[in-house]
Structure 1
Amino acid sequence: MRELLRAAFVIARRDFTATVLSRAFLLFLLGPFFPVLMILVFGAATAPMGDVNEKPTVAVISSAAEFEALEQARQRLDEAISPATLVNIAHVEPTGDPQQAANVLQARKPGYVAVLVGGLDDPRLVGSVGAASGTARQMRVFIAEARRHRESNGPVNLPVLRTEQAPAVPAGAQAMTARGGQSLLFLLTLLLAGMLLSQLIEEKSNKVIEVLAAAVPVDSIFLGKLLAMLTASLVGIAVWTSVGAAVIAAVSSHGLQNLPVPAVGWPAFILLGLVYFAMSYLLLGAIFLGIGAHASSAREVQTLSMPVTMAQVVIFALASVAVGQPDSTKAMAAAAFPLSSPYVMIARAAEVPGLWPHLVAVAWQLLWVALFLRVASGVFRKSVLKSGRVKVKPRKPARA
Structure 2
Amino acid sequence: MIRTVRAALVIFRRDFAATVLSKAFIFFLIGPLLPLLISGVFAGIGASTAEREGRPTVGVIATPSDFAPINEAHRRLEQALGENDLPKLIRFDPQGEPAQQSAKLLTSGNPPILAVLSTTNERPTLTGAVSADGSISRKLQLVLQAARRVPVDPLPAIQVVETGDSSGKLASARSATAHAGQFILFFLTILLAGMLLSQVIEEKSNKIIEVIAAAIPIDAMFLGKLFAMLAASVIGIMVWTGLGVAIVSVGTQRGLEALPDPAVGWALFGLLGVLYFAMNYLLLGALFLSIGAQASTPREVQTISMPVTILQVLIFGLATATIGNYGSALGIGAAIFPFSSPLVMLARAAELPELWPHLLALAWQTVWVALILRWGAGFFRSRVLKSGPKPGRRRRAAVS
| TM-score, reference length from structure 1 | 0.65
Give 1:358 deviation, angstroms: 0.6
> CA 1:340–1:15 in structure 2 vs 1: closer, same or farther (change >3 Å)?
same
Q: CA contact under 8 A between 1:326 and 1:351: conserved in structure 2?
A: no
Letter of the 2:238 partner, please give it. Answer: A
1:24 aligns with 2:24: yes
Aligned to 1:214: 214
Aligned to 2:187: 187
Deviations 1:50-71 (A, max 9, x none): xxxxxxxxxxxxxxxxxxxxxx
Give 1:233-382 correspondences, 5 Å limit: 233-382=233-382
Letter of the 1:216 partner, please give it. Answer: I
1:202 aligns with 2:190: no
Partner of 1:171, secondary structure, is helix
Give 1:326 deviation, angstroms: 2.2
Aligned to 2:36: 36
Q: Percent identity?
A: 58
Deviations 1:125-177 (A, max 9, x none): xxxxxxxxxxxxxxxxxxxxxxxxxxxxxxxxxxxxxxxxxxxx521211111
d(CA) in 1 for partners of 2:313 and 2:359? 26
After alignment, is 235-244 or 305-314 more displaced? 305-314
Deviations 1:279-308 (A, max 9, x none): 111111111111122122222222233222
Letter of the 1:19 partner, please give it. Answer: T
Q: CA contact under 8 A between 1:181 and 1:346: conserved in structure 2?
A: yes
> CA 1:79–1:372 in structure 2 vs 1: closer, same or farther (change >3 Å)?
same
1:174 aligns with 2:231: no
d(CA) in 1 for partners of 2:184 and 2:292? 26
Aligned length: 283
d(CA) in 1 for partners of 2:357 and 2:160? 35
1:110 aligns with 2:161: no
Deviations 1:298-336 (A, max 9, x none): 222222332222111111111111112222221111000
Q: CA contact under 8 A between 2:199 and 2:292: conserved in structure 1?
A: no
Give 1:17-166 correspondences, 5 Å limit: 17-38=17-38, 90=161, 110=167
d(CA) in 1 for partners of 2:40 and 2:382? 47
CA RMSD of aligned residues (A): 2.9
Aligned to 1:386: 386
d(CA) in 2 for partners of 1:334 and 1:206? 41
Q: CA contact under 8 A between 2:219 and 2:377: conserved in structure 1?
A: yes
The runs of 5 or more residues in structure 1 that have no matched partner are 47-77, 93-103, 112-168, 389-400
Give 1:203 deviation, angstroms: 1.8
After alignment, is 30-39 or 264-273 more displaced? 30-39
Q: CA contact under 8 A between 1:283 and 1:372: conserved in structure 2?
A: yes
Give 1:209 deviation, angstroms: 2.5
Deviations 1:335-356 (A, max 9, x none): 0000000110010010000211
Letter of the 1:301 partner, please give it. Answer: V
Q: CA contact under 8 A between 2:11 and 2:224: conserved in structure 1?
A: yes
d(CA) in 2 for partners of 1:239 and 1:110? 36
Aligned to 1:7: 7
> CA 1:318–1:43 in structure 2 vs 1: closer, same or farther (change >3 Å)?
farther
Give 1:253 deviation, angstroms: 2.0
Give 1:38 deviation, angstroms: 4.8
Letter of the 2:372 partner, please give it. Answer: F
d(CA) in 2 for partners of 1:246 and 1:208? 44
Partner of 2:256, secondary structure, is coil
Q: CA contact under 8 A between 1:197 and 1:301: conserved in structure 2?
A: yes
> CA 1:343–1:370 in structure 2 vs 1: closer, same or farther (change >3 Å)?
same
Q: CA contact under 8 A between 2:199 and 2:225: conserved in structure 1?
A: no
| TM-score, reference length from structure 2 | 0.65
Q: CA contact under 8 A between 1:326 and 1:352: conserved in structure 2?
A: no
Q: CA contact under 8 A between 1:196 and 1:226: conserved in structure 2?
A: yes
The runs of 5 or more residues in structure 2 that have no matched partner are 48-77, 84-158, 389-400
> CA 1:110–1:199 in structure 2 vs 1: closer, same or farther (change >3 Å)?
closer
Partner of 2:293, secondary structure, is helix
Larger radius of gyration: 2
Partner of 2:209, secondary structure, is helix
Q: CA contact under 8 A between 1:334 and 1:341: conserved in structure 2?
A: yes
d(CA) in 1 for partners of 2:329 and 2:31? 39
Letter of the 1:265 partner, please give it. Answer: G
After alignment, is 237-246 or 226-235 more displaced? 237-246
Partner of 1:294, secondary structure, is coil
Give 1:252 deviation, angstroms: 3.2
Partner of 1:175, secondary structure, is helix
Give 1:91 deviation, angstroms: 6.6
Give 1:90 deviation, angstroms: 4.1
Deviations 1:220-275 (A, max 9, x none): 00001011000000000001111222223333320011211110111111111111
Q: CA contact under 8 A between 1:288 and 1:305: conserved in structure 2?
A: no
d(CA) in 2 for partners of 1:234 and 1:225? 14
> CA 1:43–1:335 in structure 2 vs 1: closer, same or farther (change >3 Å)?
farther
